[in-house]
Amino acid sequence: MAAPSLVEAFTTAPPCAHDCHATLTFAERTQGVAAMYRFDDALRGWGYQPSYEIGADRLFRAAKARNDPRYRVVAVRDDACVYRRLVGFAVHELIHALCGDVTLANFGIPFGAPYGVPEDVPPAEEKAWLAPHNAAEARAFVGVGPLARALYGVDWAVYTARDVGTYGFAGGRSLVEVPPGYRPVPHFDRQNEPERYYALARRLEAEATAWFTDTRLAELVARVEAAEALGRARAPRRPPPEQLAARPPRPPQPGDPCPCGSGARFRRCCGA
């Protein structure tokens, strides 16, 4: 079964954990659809293919394992939510693009980061090599709300996957499998060493928050709008945002991908 388009993601969306269809007004849902149209245009303008298949984390792990420098897909739909979580994920990815290199796969972020370093990096330099990737992740985590407001006028809460960014803080005891060409780095993990991880993360995120000045936000908005202008000509035809915003959630069908993001069909997963 082909991955759903953005329009299909809205028209077949099951109820979500945030009950967005009930807790957001019609105007706010319309704003969310319009924001996702613009996000879709921006990615196309930069030459990426947005993916709206449920299970972004699973899809990204598969991409990391392949470590393909030609890979130009960006998966953003983590679960069933097509408003708070989807818009949040979209803005998170935009910040990564703005902090990275859009001419490269994964916005130039090495698939081995943040839990591994290239094999030729000396152990003494692991922390320094990971530092810019951690800093970009912190910006992409804390900047979701500010950029959503500045770019889309969204003043309702949007969410990312977790309550903290995904960082590789060298020095802990956790290891994660990394792609060929990389060496895993022992790091602090939020499950195994939460106090240390959260202390380092909050310090990093405080620095990232200060990065989002009004001047910088205006600059980021201008860059996204330039990409949107390029991508708009490549975008498929779409219904008015109001039309999608009016559609209520649809109960999961047996053959649908499970809303939990496992990749299995609903009948064989949460619907069993």
φ, ψ (nearest 5 deg) of residue 16: -115, 170
Residue 40: exposed, middle, or buried by beta-carbon count in 10 A (0-12, 13-18, 19+)? Answer: buried
Residue 47 forms part of a structural domain: yes
Q: Any residues with CB less than 8 A from the CB of 29 and at least 6 apart, and which?
A: 20, 21, 83, 245
From first to last of the 272 residues of the chain, give the pLDDT tens digit. Answer: 567 899 999 999 999 999 999 999 999 999 999 999 999 999 999 999 999 999 988 888 899 889 999 999 999 998 899 999 999 999 999 999 999 999 999 999 999 999 999 999 999 999 999 999 999 999 999 999 999 999 999 999 999 988 999 999 999 999 999 999 999 999 999 999 999 999 999 999 999 999 999 999 999 999 999 999 999 998 899 999 999 999 999 888 888 888 888 888 889 898 88
Does 151 map to a domain?
yes
Q: Which residues, 6 or more positions from 205, have their beta carbon under 8 angstroms from its beta carbon?
A: 138, 141, 142, 164, 165
214 in a domain, yes or no? yes
Q: Is 1 a domain residue? A: no
Total domains in the fold of the chain: 1
Domain of 198 in residue numbering reads as 6-268
Return the closest-CA partner of residue 164 out of 193, 130, 128: 193
Distance, first Cα to last Cα, the chain: 20
Establish if 146 belongs to a structural domain.
yes
Radius of gyration of the chain (CA): 19
Residue 94 tokens read as 């935009």
Q: Which long-range contacts (CB under 8 A, 24 or more apart) does 224-229 make?
A: 224/38, 224/42, 224/94, 224/98, 224/151, 226/45, 227/41, 227/42, 227/43, 227/45, 227/46, 227/102, 228/38, 228/41, 228/42, 228/45, 229/41, 229/45
